[in-house]
Structure 1
């Protein structure tokens, strides 16, 4: 029997905004930080149009080739539960180094995955995300000032620029969860990786222990190096957990209901 998937309940708040913009969501603890970035983009309402970084203390996590001057760790190879653990733990998330949107993430609860629920999943939130490229917190405050006052000299221009449907007080949790569903599909494992995951899961269920490298070589009719490379890629993206060079330590971290049918 596989261990239950650990779920983090997180509250993310956009800082330095007069009326708080926040979201509460649940996400698998095994996700890497780049996947968390994609989740935050969907949860908050950003469009993933700019660079980002997570910071904790003096450590930076992001796409290394984008952040070489910061000596950042690669967010694609670092799991969420490696840097955030323990109720109340915090991490900062910076998005768009021009407008400099700074968010605080707080780990509120550590839970077990609910059967049948798809993660990530948004529970609640407040107020709309600011429009992209509006000039950061100060630019957003000027935008709101102009929108609130029909007599403001920039009212029409700002209304046209932000879009007639923009409502700073609006929040639609169902819309957020639709975006999260699209994000899940966007970061899914490849077809071949899915077959490996399904095989490992079913082998473990039937035999009480994970398959060996030789088992996978025979099943997929591939070389040892092919199995090794595929397993390494899946570990880096958070699909499996294992202790290198110790047989029988592979654990599938993807919920069984998300696995493809075994061919």
Structure 2
């Protein structure tokens, strides 16, 4: 029997999301709760990138793949509704990948920029900042 991980108080993760191998640079900044499940993060990324969620995808985090299984697609060992970002105990500056549409090869590099305290009045789980050209930050 595996011992449960000690509970970690949720915080806000500030994530910088960069679409690899595209010029000009396309990036997003996302603020979201650390206890979000990766199934929900997948849905948010689809919206942020204006994608249609009609292709296979996977997250690669700490050398392991995670995602929502689809008929005829990749099978994953873990239920993406039960796997939360906080489970990975990411450090500032740490990166992981989100791949979408394997035939087109869209790869998002997601970096944890900061951890922020959750204000008591904060209801929304996500907030975004969008930039589609290179520049500072």
Normalised TM-score (structure 1)? 0.43
Q: Where has structure 1 moved over 6 Å in runs of 4 or more?
A: none
Partners of 1:87 and 1:42 lie apart in 2 by 25
Partners of 1:64 and 1:45 lie apart in 2 by 21
Partners of 1:74 and 1:13 lie apart in 2 by 26
Given the alignment, which residue of 44, 48, 53 partners 1:43? 48
Q: Quote the residue 1:31 is aligned against.
A: 36
Q: Quote the residue 1:120 is aligned against.
A: 126
Name the structure, 1 or 2, with higher relative contact order (CA <8 Å, separation 6+).
2
Give the number of equivalent residue pairs: 123
CA radius of gyration, larger in? 1
Runs of at least 5 residues in structure 1 that lack an aligned partner in the other structure: 128-168, 170-263
Higher helix proportion (structure 1 or 2): 1
3-state SS of paired residue (2:81): helix
Q: Quote the residue 1:107 is aligned against.
A: 112
Distance verdict in 2 for CA 1:116–1:47, change over 3 Å? farther
Normalised TM-score (structure 2)? 0.79
Distance verdict in 2 for CA 1:98–1:64, change over 3 Å? same
Partners of 2:105 and 2:77 lie apart in 1 by 17
C-alpha displacement at 1:57, in angstroms? 4.4
State how 1:89-238 maps to structure 2 within 5 Å: 89-117=94-122, 118-122=124-128, 124-127=129-132
Higher strand proportion (structure 1 or 2): 2
Runs of at least 5 residues in structure 2 that lack an aligned partner in the other structure: 1-7
